[in-house]
Amino acid sequence: MKIVDIQVGRISVPLRTPFKTALRTVKSIEDIVVKVVTDTGHVGYGEAAPTAVITGDTTGAIIGAINESIKPQLIGLSINNFEDVMQRLHGSLLKNSSGKAAVDIALYDLFGQLHNAPLYKLLGGYKKEIITDITISVNEPEEMVKDSLDAVGRGYKTLKIKVGKDPLKDMERMKAIRKAIGYDIQLRIDANQGWKPKEAINILRKMEDAGLEIEFVEQPVLAHDFEGLKLVTDNVSIPVLADESVFSPRDALKILEMRAADLINIKLMKTGGIYNALKICSIAETYGVECMIGCMLESKISVTAAAHLAGAKSIITKIDLDGPALCSIDPVEGGANFEEYKIILPEASGLGFVRVPEEFFNND
């Protein structure tokens, strides 16, 4: 099964409501899609999200990375020697994790097709069904209460609340949400780097004292501030999850050696796809640290790949794969079945897509 072509296209999906974090506001998913074609007529699909404020990857940079650096390395290689293909892909250029992720995902789709099995089974086959949280954007407290109640009405049992805009207001937000939804729903929070270390310690202790029962806090401080992250981890009881601080297996190793966080958030757009995400799973297993699998603003294509990984690995115990649930439409047939909080993995080979619209690849 030899790679004969790699095509790059675009997918655009309006969100149900604007997505707001401490870092950005977005109204629609505007991602890059990739199609890897083989001499046997097989096709693998992937997707990249240009999340410049987190990964540094813009739309133009992703397209350039794939067309100029990745594609010339891969044409003619055989999926049968998958390790060689992965080595060439991940060695093709530095950084550019989102562009690498799109191609890595499409190649894993082909790997599954080559071996005629769904990817999650080839990677471990731990479970066929996973349960995701849903994200509540940072807004005025009343709007966040309304959005939280809507999410609970849709069946979600875990909400990930975006904070990090203003510590005093964040406290108000969390108190109002907890009061409205009660204690049967789990609450995790994501500050997206919005607090300073001492500010984070102060607000998190207040949340503990107020009995808000926060499951964990995601990325309270700046991504590069490993010492600040450790200071927070050492000084609060709420578990700390490293998100923007961990892109590569090397980052994961450093964070875990320092004991700077209690949990790690794996996202394919940060790791450059499944190949390196598997290494982070192994490192985390070695340290006995559980992982979350997360996503950027991604549609069903790349979130299906993340769901296959989550279904394969027991160390992934927390799921934040709500990209498709935030979308107003789903233009892709097949892949994982997203039924609100329940994600069911497909039994078809590879990632299991049935139809990815050809229009995505008409680049006029």
Alpha carbon 200 to its chain centroid, in Å, reads 24
Distance CA 93, CA 96 (A): 7
Instruction: Note if 2 is an active site residue.
Output: no
Binding Mg ion (rule: CB under 5 A), the pick from 31, 47, 104, 190 is 190
Q: Is 160 annotated as a binding residue?
A: yes
Q: Is 31 annotated as a binding residue?
A: no
- Would you say 86 or 177 has its CB closer to ligand LOXFGALJ? 177
CA distances to 175, 237, 343 from 209, in Å:
12, 11, 35
Binding partner selected for residue 302 from ligand LOXFGALJ, Mg ion, none, CB under the kind-specific 5 to 8 Å limit: none
100, 162, 230, 318: the catalytic one is: 162
Distance CA 300, CA 303 (A): 5
Binding site for ligand LOXFGALJ (CB under 6 A): 21, 24, 51, 135, 160, 190, 192, 243, 294-297, 320, 322-323
Quote the least distance from Cβ 323 to ligand LOXFGALJ, whole Å. 6
Distance CA 10, CA 23 (A): 24
- Would you say 86 or 243 has its CB closer to ligand LOXFGALJ? 243
Binding partner selected for residue 148 from ligand LOXFGALJ, Mg ion, none, CB under the kind-specific 5 to 8 Å limit: none
Q: Is 364 annotated as a binding residue?
A: no
- Would you say 52 or 354 has its CB closer to ligand LOXFGALJ? 52
CA distances to 51, 52, 60, 105, 338 from 56, in Å:
7, 4, 11, 20, 29
Instruction: Note if 121 is an active site residue.
Output: no
Distance CA 34, CA 301 (A): 10
Distance CA 209, CA 204 (A): 9
Q: Is 209 annotated as a binding residue?
A: no
- Would you say 114 or 246 has its CB closer to ligand LOXFGALJ? 246
Distance CA 322, CA 127 (A): 18
